[in-house]
């Protein structure tokens, strides 16, 4: 009996030793090949050395370039409202979006940026984050690349994608577009993987790096009901400014647009291209809280 017991004991010890050996082998580090590390976020920013280009803005798209007129006054009113909201809580980076294409978000972004620049001695930055259908560079008459897509992909640094207009430091009546304190980051090369580029959180780090250098940062984003890119970018912004087109944007679209940004601070709606606002000129803007914004959309639907 003792020999049988000893044999069983030895067998048990051998099984335990074999098990411990397997555990040690399992605990060895696994080597995975052919996986590239994440691209680092490059943060060197020297505004004095960024590229200067001779912009040629589309004058029809920039009522804010005029010395006077309804368009100038309306954007001054919108600009004043942004300053008022800044007094209520911190506000520097504004994402401008809409529900659907062709509602005027790029027009509003560009003109609000120009209005802020003409009223400010500090630097203003406007970013084209619509990587699918970028148009800001066309309005400004500026180069479209390199831009945001190259930076997010890690193939360009911040100073490579920043640009400003080549012109005098001050603005005069005959050349109002020579605003050297307005800087621009174009969208860059359009890409099929724009969602992946915008969802990798590099844009948040980019904004954090740029923020100390600018008084205001405006971001033109894709329409939120067409693609999800704008919701991803919204995490980098302090507030969301929404755009609807008079006589065109349905009320339910405005509601869905607002709901898409329910986790963000909505600054209000800009009601663009109101045809019957003759007292206020060719362009009309409406801003306020969600309730006021809904009211504006309801009145607009009755006119359409």
pLDDT in tens, 241-289: 999 998 889 999 999 999 999 999 999 999 998 876 544 433 444 443 3
Q: Which pLDDT belongs to residue 68?
A: 86
Q: Which pLDDT belongs to residue 198?
A: 81
What tokens were used for 195? 């969602």
HSE of 262, CA atoms in CB hemisphere, 13 A: 4
The answer to whether domain 2-303 has CATH 3.40.50.300 is: yes
Angle at alpha carbon of residue 64, lines to 234 and 255, rounded to 5°: 35
Q: Regarding predicted confidence, which is higher, 3 or 293?
A: 3
Question: Among 268, 263, 299, which Cα is nearest to 286's?
Answer: 268
Mean pLDDT, rounded, for 78-94? 96
Mean pLDDT, rounded, for 1-20? 57
CA pair distance 190, 107, nearest whole angstrom: 20
Task: Answer whether 261's CB lies under 8 Å from 228's CB.
Answer: no
How does DSSP classify residue 60? G
CA pair distance 216, 117, nearest whole angstrom: 9
CA pair distance 286, 302, nearest whole angstrom: 16
Q: Regarding predicted confidence, which is higher, 228 or 4?
A: 228
- For the chain, domain boundaries: 2-303
- Structure confidence by residue, pLDDT tens digits, 123-178: 999 999 999 999 999 999 999 999 999 999 999 999 999 999 986 543 443 444 45
The answer to whether residue 200 scores a pLDDT higher than 60 is yes
The answer to whether residue 183 scores a pLDDT higher than 70 is yes
CA pair distance 169, 183, nearest whole angstrom: 13
- How confident is the prediction for the chain on average, in pLDDT? 80
Question: Among 100, 169, 113, which Cα is nearest to 142's?
Answer: 113
The answer to whether residue 180 scores a pLDDT higher than 80 is yes
- Structure confidence by residue, pLDDT tens digits, 208-227: 999 999 999 999 999 999 98
């Amino acid at each position: 009996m003792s020999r049988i017991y000893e044999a069983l004991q030895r067998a048990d010890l051998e099984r335990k030793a074999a098990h411990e050996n397997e555990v040690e082998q399992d605990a060895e580090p696994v080597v995975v090949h052919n996986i590239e590390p994440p691209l680092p976020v490059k943060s060197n920013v020297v505004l004095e050395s960024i590229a200067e280009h001779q912009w040629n803005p589309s004058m029809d798209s920039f009522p804010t370039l005029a010395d006077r007129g309804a368009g100038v006054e309306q954007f001054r009113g919108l600009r004043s409202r942004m300053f008022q909201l800044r007094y209520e809580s911190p506000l520097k980076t504004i994402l401008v979006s809409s529900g659907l294409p062709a509602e005027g978000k790029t027009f509003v972004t560009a003109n609000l940026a120009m209005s802020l620049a003409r009223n400010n001695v500090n630097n203003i930055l406007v970013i084209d984050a619509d990587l699918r259908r970028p148009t800001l560079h066309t309005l400004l008459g500026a180069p479209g690349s390199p831009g945001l897509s190259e930076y997010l992909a890690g193939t360009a640094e911040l100073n490579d994608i920043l640009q400003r207009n080549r012109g005098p430091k001050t603005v005069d009546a005959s050349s109002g577009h020579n605003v050297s304190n307005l800087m621009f980051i174009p969208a860059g090369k359009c890409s099929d993987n724009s969602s992946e580029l915008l969802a990798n959180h590099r844009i948040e780090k980019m904004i954090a790096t740029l923020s100390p250098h600018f008084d205001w940062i405006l971001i033109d984003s894709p329409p939120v009901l067409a693609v999800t890119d704008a919701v991803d970018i919204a995490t980098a912004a302090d507030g969301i400014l929404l755009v609807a087109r008079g006589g065109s944007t349905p009320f339910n679209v405005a509601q869905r647009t607002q709901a898409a940004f329910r986790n963000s601070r909505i600054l209000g709606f800009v009601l663009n291209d109101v045809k019957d606002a003759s007292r206020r000129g060719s362009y009309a803007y409406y801003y306020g809280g969600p309730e006021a914004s809904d009211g504006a959309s309801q009145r607009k639907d009755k006119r359409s």
